Structure 1
Amino acid sequence: MDVMDVEVAGRSPSQETRVLVHPVDRPTRLPPGHTNAVGLTLGLIGDEWNLLILRHALLGVRRYGEWRQELPISHAVLTRRLAFLTEMGVFERVEYRSGAKRFEYRLTKRGRDLWPTLLSVWAWESRWVPEHRESLPRMVHRSCGREFLPIPTCAACSRSVRPRDVVGGFGPSGTWERSVPAATTRRRSGSGADGGAGMFPETMALVGNRWSAAILGAAFQGLHRFRDFEQRLGAPPTIVADRLRVFCELGVFEQMPGADRPDWLSYHLTEKGRAFFPVTMTGITWGQRWFRAAEGPALVYTHRACGRDFQIQLTCDACTTPLRGHEIVARPPA
């Protein structure tokens, strides 16, 4: 498949990297040394407004006024998010009324391919954040007619997969520095039109901050000790301590005595933390499909059971068949 060139604006610690692409359904080619596919993906899914805009787009919303009706979002925030998603190649801005300069935002193939990540976020929040479960829609698999939960499986051998079933790590373009968004922090959920909608509060706590996302990724790669998080990520110790505290309060990490010295605490993923695996892997899969680094992939994984490159596939737990985006129906909460 052909790839297209990308124009990249200057990057600074307080300025988000902007990737300007034409709305065509071809992967974007990234220049050497640039933020890699993982960092670009986290910059997109680490913003709750982006996720909510995409959720409604997958349900058929295309026009500015329709998003304003559906979401408690200000004009300024919606304008910025639509511009960003268009620059990322997720939307194509198309004039729908000739001569009137009226535009709508149509999902590209790249944008439609984000459905597994949004579905995984919904499933995780529905299962592990019960205080707002009633506000989330019910998902029905059109093929079998039943409500379902998505099960992560290996696309090569169709077996169900847990985090420990996959081995791997950084590829040619993979470093911690290149795998986090340029912005120091991402917008968190909050109240009011500009603060956030609060639909996915704990997801944002995990991926809505560049250091949170990095620490979570490091945990999936096997890091456990405070010093390892600090040294590998190059993060200030106060930030590492704060993020570890938040993860423990959320029940994503648990503290355990160190293997060498009991007074040196280590941090391990809980069942809730491990359950975030599909969100992480669907995001990585999407990013590396649509953003190609000159040096090669950022992350490379192998499924232990079959020995082949791991690509995640979501399966319906009710009928055990692979899910397709057009076969998923969202229904109001019961």
Structure 2
Amino acid sequence: MNCSVAQALEVLGDWWTLLIVRDAFMGMRRFSDFQESLGISKNVLAQRLSHLVERGVFELVDVGEHGTHYEYALTPMGRDLAVVLTALRQWADRWVLGPGNEPLVVHDRRTGRPIPPLRICGEDGQPLRGRDMELRPGPGITAETLARYRDYLSPSAK
């Protein structure tokens, strides 16, 4: 599908995959650590990890001292998912769990303070609301996508 969200979900779009990435951000690198943390079957975990390696989110790193032993490390592509996971965490803390029920709170190591809620800001640094944003065709749009969303695009973009 000619859609950035659909393409992201092709890489990350199931429950286990995002939880594996979440655990990698917590420092897990070994297959057995992911398996123990998630309680996931070994075959499902192997499939998800293989997919994440193939798609460039993880890389296999040989850490064997006495023979070959691989661990999984986030690539730059994978590390860029910190914003996505933080946004999901903050959304769930606000709307699903409710304030005061946060299982984990992310802090800035430099200040020791909780990080502020993520916001989309304009070039002037001011937060944007949904009504402040509009969709316009991008350079990769197909005729099919343009037809599907024509009624939802900015009037100046049609």
For normalisation by structure 2, the TM-score amounts to 0.79
Residue 86 of structure 1, aligned match among 53, 69, 80:
53
Tell me the matched-pair count: 151
Provide the secondary structure at the position in 2 that maps to 1:146. coil
The C-alpha deviation readout for 1:166-186, integer Å capped at 9, x for no partner, is 1123323235967xxxxxxxx
Provide the secondary structure at the position in 1 that maps to 2:59. strand
1:76 corresponds in structure 2 to: 43
User: Contact 2:58/2:72 (CA < 8 Å) preserved in 1?
Assistant: yes
Provide the secondary structure at the position in 2 that maps to 1:140. coil
1:128 corresponds in structure 2 to: 95
2:23 corresponds in structure 1 to: 56
User: Contact 2:93/2:102 (CA < 8 Å) preserved in 1?
Assistant: no
The C-alpha deviation readout for 1:124-165, integer Å capped at 9, x for no partner, is 11111127x847312223343223442313263211111111
Residue 116 of structure 1, aligned match among 83, 94, 110:
83
1:95 corresponds in structure 2 to: 62
Q: Is 1:164 aligned with 2:131?
A: yes
User: Residue type of the partner of 2:32?
Assistant: G
Q: Is 1:45 aligned with 2:4?
A: no
- Paired residues for 1:315-330 under 5 Å: none
Offset of 1:99 from its aligned partner?
A: 5.8
User: Contact 2:52/2:58 (CA < 8 Å) preserved in 1?
Assistant: yes
Offset of 1:58 from its aligned partner?
A: 1.1
Provide the secondary structure at the position in 2 that maps to 1:154. coil
- Paired residues for 1:1-334 under 5 Å: 37-98=4-65, 100-130=67-97, 134=101, 136-154=103-121, 156-175=123-142
Q: Distance in 2 between matches of 1:79 and 1:108?
A: 18
Question: Structure 2: which 5+ runs fail to align?
Answer: none
| 1:98–1:170 distance in 2 versus 1, CA, 3 Å | farther
Higher helix content, 1 or 2: 2
User: Residue type of the partner of 1:122?
Assistant: R
Higher relative contact order (CA 8 A, sep 6+): 1
User: Residue type of the partner of 2:120?
Assistant: T
For normalisation by structure 1, the TM-score amounts to 0.40
Q: Distance in 2 between matches of 1:103 and 1:155?
A: 42
Q: Distance in 2 between matches of 1:150 and 1:83?
A: 33
Q: Distance in 1 between matches of 2:85 and 2:151?
A: 25
The C-alpha deviation readout for 1:65-95, integer Å capped at 9, x for no partner, is 1111211211011101101111111111122
Higher strand content, 1 or 2: 1
Offset of 1:45 from its aligned partner?
A: 3.2
Identity of aligned residues (%): 35
Q: Distance in 1 between matches of 2:74 and 2:102?
A: 25
Q: Distance in 2 between matches of 1:63 and 1:115?
A: 20
Provide the secondary structure at the position in 2 that maps to 1:152. coil
